[in-house]
């Protein structure tokens, strides 16, 4: 086979594989839960609990971006500057990372933490992937509490300083809350009071992930009541 023909074949195979990997993700028809809330509201902490109890795969958009910086990618410096300023990285960059992570995981239940951060993120994700979240967890927490948590997180994050934290709060209010309102209007938001202990917050999260158990319990009580009224 000539060199040019080999190159052409390579390109065709690559294009076919790309198409196939996209459709494999769609064929798997994954369950997607967006996990949103202000900086420091406890998204990552609660996602870790959900993974343990319900077998979801946790994808933190922020973690994927930080890994991209470390990998020495050509986008690294741009991403690092955006994170330092608390700004939102362009959708195409974040969506590519999320898509790749979903495809490579081979799994079909995802917690997407800290994304979408603005309306453009949301619309681009739905357009590019053709997928919508089953529901949205919204960890609602006052700024004073989030600030306290972030300032004592001690994980060496470059954006856990008071200047960047204030910028992140502003971006959350102006750009991310409208995304939550959008899904709220569609009845998809599960709002959780996140200003409580980790255990108390997780108890509420559990009730969201186990609504069927509650229904089974209700049915059980109803049957018991019917039996009792029949006997007496
Ligand atoms: N309910 C809670 N009560 C007290 N501290 C908490 C609670 N939940 C999480 N924390 C602590 O607060 C800090 C921030 O939590 P976490 O990293 O889960 O927040 P996050 O929403 O993922 O933040 P970010 O958006 O910056 O990634 C961590 O140090 C964590 O241990
Ligand atoms: O979808 C996203 C997610 C994150 N970013 C940037 O990363 C930082 C940190 O995100 P965390 O969720 O707190 O880990 C955030 O402030 C943004 O600068 C993003 O641009 N897009
Ligand atoms: Mg986090």
Least confident of 89-93, 150-154, 180-184, 221-225: 221-225
Question: Measured between alpha carbons, how far is 120 from 128 in angstroms, rounded to an integer?
Answer: 12
Start-to-end Cα distance in the chain: 88
Least confident of 110-119, 127-136, 193-202, 211-220: 211-220
Atom of ligand 1 nearest to the CA of 201: 1
Question: Measured between alpha carbons, how far is 13 from 109 in angstroms, rounded to an integer?
Answer: 29
Q: What is the pLDDT of residues 66-109, one digit of tens each?
A: 999 999 999 999 999 999 999 999 999 999 999 999 999 999 99
pTM for the full model?
0.87
* 3-class SS of residue 31: strand
Q: Quick one: what percent of the chain has pLDDT higher than 90?
A: 78
Which of 84, 114, 148, 149 has most ligand 1 atoms within 8 Å of CB, for mutation? 149
Give yes or no for a contact between 26 and 156, defined as CB atoms under 8 angstroms apart: no
* Complex ipTM value: 0.99
So where are the chain's domains?
Answer: 3-231
Please report the pLDDT score of residue 21 as a whole number. Answer: 44
Give yes or no for a contact between 41 and 140, defined as CB atoms under 8 angstroms apart: yes
Query: Is CATH 3.30.70.250 what the domain over 3-231 is classified as, yes or no?
Result: no
* 3-class SS of residue 60: strand
pLDDT band at 213 (very low <50, low <70, confident <90, very high): low
Binding residues for a ribonucleoside 5'-phosphate are: 66, 87-89, 114-117, 157, 168
Atom of ligand 2 nearest to the CA of 88: 20
Binding residues are: 40-45, 66, 87-89, 114-117, 121, 153, 157, 168, 196
């Amino acid at each position: 086979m000539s060199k040019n023909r080999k190159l052409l074949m390579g390109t065709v195979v690559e294009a076919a594989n790309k198409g196939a990997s996209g459709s494999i993700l769609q064929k798997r028809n994954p369950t997607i839960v967006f996990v949103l809330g202000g900086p420091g509201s406890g998204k990552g902490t609660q996602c870790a609990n959900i993974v343990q109890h319900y077998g979801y795969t946790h994808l933190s958009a922020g973690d994927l971006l930080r890994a991209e910086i470390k990998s020495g990618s050509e986008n690294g410096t741009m991403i690092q500057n955006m994170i330092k300023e608390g700004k939102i990285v362009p959708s195409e960059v974040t969506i590519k990372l999320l898509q790749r992570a979903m495809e490579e995981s081979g799994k079909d239940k995802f917690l997407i933490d800290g994304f979408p951060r603005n309306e453009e993120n949301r619309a681009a994700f739905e357009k590019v992937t053709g997928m919508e979240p089953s529901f949205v967890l919204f960890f609602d927490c006052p700024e004073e509490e989030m600030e306290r948590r972030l300032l004592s997180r001690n994980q060496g994050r470059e954006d856990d300083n008071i200047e960047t934290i204030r910028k992140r709060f502003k971006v959350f209010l102006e750009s991310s809350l409208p995304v939550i309102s959008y899904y709220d209007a569609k009845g998809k938001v599960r709002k959780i009071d996140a200003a409580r202990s980790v255990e108390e917050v997780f108890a509420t999260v559990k009730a969201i992930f186990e609504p069927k158990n509650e229904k089974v319990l209700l049915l059980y009580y109803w049957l018991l009541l019917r039996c009792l009224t029949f006997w007496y």
